[in-house]
Structure 1
Amino acid sequence: MELPPLTALAFCLVISTGSLAQHVSVEQSVSGLLGTQLALRCQLVDPGKTVTVTQVAWVKDPSGAKTNLAVYNTTRGTTYPSKTGKRIVFRKPSLVDATLVIKRLQLKDDGNYSCQFATTPGGNQAGTTKLTVLARPTNTGTALLVRAGDAQVAVASCKSSGGKPMPRIAWRGAVMHNMALGVVSNVEGLFSVTGMFHAVPTGLMDGEEVECIVTHQTFEQPQVIPVTLRFQYPPIVTIEGYDGDWFLNREHASITCNVKANPTAHTYSWKMNGREIPTSIRVVGHQLTVDSVSCNVHGTFTCTANNSLGTSSGSVDIVVRATSATAAGNGLGSYENLPGNKQVGTMFSFMR
Structure 2
Amino acid sequence: MDGDRESVLVYYPGQSVYTYGLYRNRASLVNTDAAAQVASLRLSNLQFSDNGTYECVVGASSASGSGAPQEASAEIELVALVAPNDPVIDDDFNSVTGNLTLTCTAYTGNPAAFLTWNRDGSPISADRADNITSWRGYLDAQSTISVTASSARSSTFECVAQHPAFTSAQRASVTLGSPSVSAVSINPSPAPGQSLMELDDIILTCMTQEGIVPQPTYEWRHNAGSLPTSAQAYRNELKIFSAQVEDTGIYTCTASNSFGSDTGDASILITERVDNTPEGQTGTPAGTVVGIVIAVLAVVAVIVVIGFVCWRRRQSDELKIPPDSPEEPEAVVSTEPEEEKDEEKLNLMEEKKEEEPEEVKVETQGEGHAEVAKKPDPDQTA
| Shared fold, TM over 0.5 | no
Which structure has more relative contact order (CA 8 Å, sep 6+)? It is 1
The structure with more helix, counted as a fraction of residues: 2
Query: What TM-score, normalized by structure 1, do the two folds share?
Result: 0.41
Query: What TM-score, normalized by structure 2, do the two folds share?
Result: 0.38
The structure with more strand, counted as a fraction of residues: 1
